[in-house]
Chains A and B, each alone.
Chain A
């Protein structure tokens, strides 16, 4: 069983509080991603799981057993570093073999001269050779076994780092931004490889990244972190469709979510740009409410929209970005103290809008996300609105 349980993990470096009471339950065989901006504490958290840092407070358990007193190599975890940390003076074969030689040979059997005296060593080494060959075959490294890291490409080095991790058959794989040093194309390719590797091995993967695309495409669940706490834990869909806070909504999804300023009117009725909407919230009159609208939820409106359930506002086209299969259009909201909005649309529609044209954009009121002044998600009551409850932080 390779579950990972973190209870109230706290860590400070000097006066800086890096982690403030983090709780996390990672299921056996799950691919869990810790994602967030730089400095949110995700790398520190994974290093605490590995045993490379020691927490100030709280406990770590792997497979249900507390591991706080165990050295890193006793915890049955393996780690892939951002820089791969391959031993430059050893061949690929020796790099992958190292964890095995460390664990299967005693100290004196490893010392340069003394080891010649061990008869057992030869048998152990042969076993190690076989395991290394198996791992190398899985990662297509067979023909590279005798090369040194300096002679390998970035992608190959990454696979060697993976091989070194795999060969120990650990309970948990920890990965600290392993794809950051690769170029864009390779990164896309490796995303697939890592996801398939996870399925093949069935091990628990804890993955750290600042790239929300990686988080969304590879994970079973995502924990979004900021300033040392987990803002939301859930499946990628849950984070995208029901962000628990403004920060989560802004971080997940590309292009970034559009934010519009709403005001609470009489009786809790929401107003946008002076126009009342068919949404009611439980906030005091005069409170500011942020509306989050995804770029694909916006559409062109001809004339004034009829019927309730649709909000609209005027905007002027600033720029078109042609992605081939679709366009991303950037609009300014004239006369409003609001940063522009982006809209995704098909080439057919986009071509019809001329530069600096004044248009009306609309969206379904049921499709927008509401956030209170403190950034927390709020529910709305109103005709035709799905009354979803607030998603709990711990899934």
Chain B
């Protein structure tokens, strides 16, 4: 029985106080069980990364290491693979993609929302269509094109398919549509060019939506495997997921201590960013979902 604790009259007799207590126990029981399911891999990852091989491979399963082996595991992982390099690549990738996405999408969204130009409706239909086409579809022709141009194994190649975010255009257009025309007209009368209007008046008001999208984009591209796997073979350029895959390959997947250490290092940036900017993340997802 799903009986959430609410302000509905809690009546005096003792047995219903007991009933409320029981339902609370049940509710938190389920939530805690689910929470353990969610946290188990993280806990196991951290714990294993500080265990020595002897304990990892022993028959008995223990949670806490008897011997602290963390330094060795982490050092091994960092020496065997340029983990920090992978993380740096992730930052470069996400930042580069995000900047271009915003530079392209914001003016376009503004034009679709506030300006009248030939082909406007056609463009919007194309944007909507683009929403339905995941990046895996144009992957092959893009790969062929980049190969012909000799651009494989470059940061540029990793970022190219994502420069255009139809999702950003769609999201910002919704936002801009509700921006009062009067303010824009007043700015025009004051002699502002349309370019200035976009960046100095309209964009600041859309900061929540932009922040939300930034969160969304960063999480998606930091964790993307498919496209980097296709265009990158040089480990020096690998973003975290690809780097992890290289590392796991090289290690023949048996040095679990080092593997989990590497996993921790690569997962940490986003998780820490999330813990710090919790509300941003969650509001971002909520806003993009309620499109």
Contacts and interface: CB of A to CB of B under 8 A. Distances in A.
- Indicate whether A and B are direct neighbours in the complex (CB within 8 Å): yes
Interface of A: 51-54, 68-72
Nearest to B16: A69
> From DSSP, what is the main secondary structure of chain A's interface residues?
loop
Contacts of B11: 54, 68-71
A71 B19 CA distance: 15
Contacts of A51: 9
A54 B11 CA distance: 8
15 contacts: A51-B9, A52-B7, A52-B8, A52-B9, A53-B7, A53-B9, A54-B10, A54-B11, A68-B12, A69-B13, A70-B11, A71-B8, A71-B11, A72-B8, A72-B9
A54 B13 CA distance: 13
Contacts of A53: 7, 9
A51 B11 CA distance: 9
Most central of B7, B9, B12 by chain A CB within 10 Å: B9
Contacts of A54: 9-11
A52 B6 CA distance: 10
Interface string B1-42: 000000111111100000000000000000000000000000
B88 to A, nearest CB: 50
Contacts of A52: 7-9
Interface of B: 7-13
Contacts of B7: 52-53
Contacts of B12: 68-69
B14 to A, nearest CB: 11
A229 B219 CA distance: 56
A76 to B, nearest CB: 15
Nearest to A55: B9
A51 B7 CA distance: 10
Contacts of A72: 8-9
Contacts of A69: 11-13
B181 to A, nearest CB: 27
B154 to A, nearest CB: 54
A52 B9 CA distance: 6
A247 to B, nearest CB: 30
Nearest to B10: A54
Nearest to B12: A69
Contacts of B8: 52, 71-72
A376 B83 CA distance: 80
Contacts of A70: 11
A72 B12 CA distance: 14
Question: 3 tightest CB-CB pairs across the interface, nearest first?
Answer: A54-B9, A51-B9, A69-B11
Nearest to A75: B9
A72 B10 CA distance: 11
Contacts of A68: 11-12
B37 to A, nearest CB: 30
A255 B142 CA distance: 77
A71 B8 CA distance: 8
A69 B15 CA distance: 12
A53 B10 CA distance: 8
A70 B10 CA distance: 9
B108 to A, nearest CB: 34
A70 to B, nearest CB: 7
A52 B10 CA distance: 9
A68 B12 CA distance: 8
Contacts of B13: 69
Nearest to B6: A52
B117 to A, nearest CB: 36
A390 to B, nearest CB: 38
Contacts of A71: 8-9, 11
B48 to A, nearest CB: 47
B58 to A, nearest CB: 53
Given A53-B9, A54-B10, 13 more contacts: A51-B9, A52-B7, A52-B8, A54-B9, A68-B11, A69-B11, A69-B12, A69-B13, A70-B11, A71-B8, A71-B9, A72-B8, A72-B9
A51 B12 CA distance: 12
A55 to B, nearest CB: 9
